[in-house]
Chains A and B, each alone.
Chain A
Amino acid sequence: MSSDLPFYLIAALTVGFAIAAMSLRRLVHCALCAAAAFAGLAMAYLQLDAEFVGFAQLLVYVGAIAILIVFAVLLTRGDEVRPDHHQTSPTPMAGIAVAALVLAGIAIPIFTSPSLRRVAPPTAIVPVKKIGEVLMTRYVLPLEMVGVVLTGALLGAVVVAMSEDAEVKLTVRRKPAGHAELKGEMSLP
């Protein structure tokens, strides 16, 4: 039990933050609790000897996606309380009941499977060199595809979120840098 303490601590914190992220009133608090839940998951990955994935999770989720969510909340004025905006759907209980059914559907096979007794063999910590080698030999095609997808997503997100006057400025041809305009003389009144 005492050797399980880190796991129980991490699990309790992460589940607590996830519940807070989904149930708090103010959107900024929800976004920050979600960031904390992602950090808790990174710690769970570190528990499972997946160091590279744990730090990558911190870098990507906490360092980028959480900030994205926060920016989106601010840009859509999500924090202003408006009377016509409901926080939750009119029938929240139905949603929670369906979620509980999904949870039961996943949890029951877990408890009736032999995984209850499976204890980990001692895993050597995977050297990062091995991850690099595997990425470049066996998984090189997914790597390149992910590069293409990320580039497309970057361009797509910029274009979709561009405001209309910025779009107009982009499509109009820009004149070359105006040396001529600045060469004029300035006279005092």
Chain B
Amino acid sequence: MNNLDQIFVLTQHWLAALAPGPIQSLVSMLLAIAGLMAVFGSCFALTTILERKILGRMQNRFGPNRVGPFGLLQPLADGIKMLTKEDIVPYSADQALHFLAPLALTIPVWLAFAVLPFGRNMNAIELDCGILFFFAIGSASELAVFMAGWSSQNKYSLLGAMRAIAQMLSYEVPLVLASVPALMAAGSLSLPDVVQSQSGYALGLVPRWNVFTPWGLAAFILFLIAAAAESNRCPFDLPEGESELIAGFLTEYSGFKYALFFLGEYFGLFAVTGLAVTLFLGGWQAPAKWLEWLPSWGWFAAKFSALILLFIWARATLPRLRFDQLLNFAWKFLLPLALINVLVAALWWKLPAAMEIRWLLCAVLLAVPYAWLGRSWRGAIPEQRQYHYVE
């Protein structure tokens, strides 16, 4: 049983041992990279087709169903299309920046996968400040968006890029603040430690995941909202909305570069979803003792898929936020709630562990600011219009 759980780690060690001595660590690292890219690459292909099918079904239509059984070979068709499209670069565009922008977006996003623990002992790098690395790398990809928008020398692209950067910057603050209570609970910035701090079962039944505490639930919801905004995902996809700015900062990109941007956006979503699973849903741990026969990476994959489905569901259901509504939401609603959440989490740890009082107090301390802030920023509700016809 343990062998199935550690099968990827054992395979990596076995293959690395086949290599000559001095370059064994290099080979081991390359194997980890290859494995991650293979798994998440196929996850990307699966997510594109799954998203289109699920969106289609939620909108009462079929998704793509021509290519392959139930349309499952659609990613292959998409890939061939993207690779064979003509790569048009505008004449007055800044050639070097136009070329480098897709690379500058995807490389930091791929780097972020290095610190996520996908299973027991299954993180590619052991870093003492893993989550700081994650957020630092994530913030480095915002410059790439600017490079893309500005190098196209196109007013719409530049506007889209400015909006995208403002949105990503604004939502980075609630994202980091929402992850702080989970780090406080673990007492460490290292992600395997965060997963370890959520081990064990309270009352023998309920796992000690962070999402099952009031501050954890609030932080989880805040994190998911901020994560959707960080990866330009509906309902926050104004920078790339088709009816708004053509394609925003992606207007002048075609062919493989567009595919790279698309890839970068989805991989960013995967990375931040993996982080949400690690911080709040207990990482690779099983929800009940009798379910531990499923390997740890299987549980990670299950929770990860559930969150991705949640994001797809949100995309199908919610309308797009207008830009000023978006920024107001981040700075005037999410940020105060995230700060109050940090205080409530600190209070939770200071109170004695008499369960009922802690839960009630913290839940009340979170619900009251939420209701109050929500009411004060709701804005005017338009009344039902009365139409008077001329008789």
Contact = CB atoms under 8 A, between A and B. Distances in A.
B188 interface: yes
Contact of A67 (B158, B169, B189): B169
A162 B385 CA distance: 37
A67 B386 CA distance: 48
Given A32-B143, A67-B169, 10 more contacts: A32-B147, A55-B129, A55-B133, A62-B136, A71-B162, A128-B128, A177-B379, A186-B387, A187-B388, A188-B387
A39 B111 CA distance: 14
Contacts of A52: 129, 132
B129 A128 contact: yes
The A contact surface, by secondary structure, is helix
A11 interface: no
Given A129-B187, A177-B380, A186-B386, A67 B132 contact: no
A186 B380 contact: no
B127 interface: yes
Interface in A15-67: 28-29, 32, 35, 39, 51-52, 55-56, 58-59, 62-64, 66-67
A122 interface: no
B140 interface: yes
A138 interface: no
Chain B contact patch, size range = 35 or more
B205 interface: no
Interface-centre pick from A35, A59, A187 (highest chain B CB count, 10 A): A59
Q: Which 3 A-B pairs have the closest CB atoms?
A: A63-B139, A58-B136, A59-B136
Interface string B136-166: 1111101100110010000000100010010
Interface string A163-189: 000000000000001110011011110
Interface of B: 97, 127-129, 132-133, 135-140, 142-143, 146-147, 150, 158, 162, 165, 169, 172, 187-190, 379-383, 385-390
A151 B137 CA distance: 25
A57 to B, nearest CB: 8
Contacts of B187: 129
A127 interface: yes
A70 interface: yes
Nearest to A73: B150
Given A58-B136, A63-B140, A128 B380 contact: no
A125 interface: yes
A58 B112 CA distance: 13
B156 to A, nearest CB: 15
A163 to B, nearest CB: 16
A41 to B, nearest CB: 13
B132 A28 contact: no
B137 A182 contact: no
Interface-centre pick from A58, A64, A127 (highest chain B CB count, 10 A): A58
Contacts of A62: 136, 139-140, 143
B380 A179 contact: yes
